[in-house]
């Protein structure tokens, strides 16, 4: 059995594409899906900072208390497993290619050009 693939009418649209695949079994589709996912640029959470106790948000004046039943390492690992979609248009570069950070030690790297800061 030979797999057939064709682009659906009206596509590609910007950075989206629909493909109709016929005469393929699940393992072939899964292999194709994995290859496509591997080629899509994405970021991952690399460093996580935890603060325990009572903290006040200076911008909003809200007070938060951080108590946790899970170890910090477990939460950091779970956050690291979340792929963060990245568009090449966002002009985020890898720290190894960042002109501001490429000559720094790895633990000191990080600037607005090569990192995104999230607060939970």
pLDDT in tens, 9-38: 999 888 788 999 999 999 999 998 899 888
Q: Note the pLDDT of residue 114.
A: 82
Neighbours of 98 (CB within 10 A): 19
Q: Which of 45, 110, 53, 116 is nearest to 82 (CA)?
A: 45
57 and 11 in a single domain? The answer is no
Rg for the chain, CA atoms, rounded? 21
H/E run at residue 47: none
Answer yes or no: is 118 within a domain.
no
Q: What value does the mean pLDDT take over residues 64-85?
A: 80
Same domain membership, residue 70 and residue 28: no
Any domain includes 25 = yes
Mean pLDDT, all residues of the chain: 82
Q: For residue 59, give its domain range.
A: 43-108
Residue 114, domain member (yes or no) = no
Separation between Cα atoms, residue 110 and residue 115, nearest integer Å? 6
89 in the same domain as 66: yes
Query: What pLDDT score does 22 carry?
Result: 93
pTM value is: 0.47
Pair 51, 96 in one domain: yes
What is the structure's pLDDT at 6?
93
Q: Quick check: 87 pLDDT over 90?
A: no
Q: Is the pLDDT of residue 80 over 80?
A: yes
Residues 52 and 101 in one domain: yes
Same-domain status, 76 and 54: yes
Residue 115 lies in a domain: no
Q: What is the pLDDT of residue 50?
A: 75
Total count of domains within the chain:
2
Mean pLDDT along residues 49-73: 76
**Looking at the predicted structure, is the pLDDT value of residue 8 above 90?**
yes
Q: Are 47 and 84 within one domain?
A: yes
Nearby residues of 8 by Cβ (< 8 Å), 6 or more positions away: 18, 19, 20
Residues 33 and 47 in one domain: no
Domain assignment present for residue 84? The answer is yes
On whether residue 16 sits in a domain, the answer given is: yes
């Amino acid at each position: 059995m030979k797999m057939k693939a064709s682009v659906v009418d009206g596509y590609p649209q910007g950075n989206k594409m629909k493909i109709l695949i016929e005469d393929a079994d699940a393992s072939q589709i899964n292999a194709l899906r994995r290859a496509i996912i591997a080629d899509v640029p994405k970021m991952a959470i690399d460093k996580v900072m935890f603060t325990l106790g009572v903290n006040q948000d200076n911008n909003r004046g809200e007070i938060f208390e951080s108590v946790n039943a899970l170890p910090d390492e477990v939460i950091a690992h779970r956050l690291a497993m979340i792929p963060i979609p990245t568009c090449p248009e966002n002009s985020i570069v890898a720290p190894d290619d960042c002109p501001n950070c490429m000559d720094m030690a790895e633990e000191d790297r990080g600037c607005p050009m090569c990192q995104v800061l999230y607060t939970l």
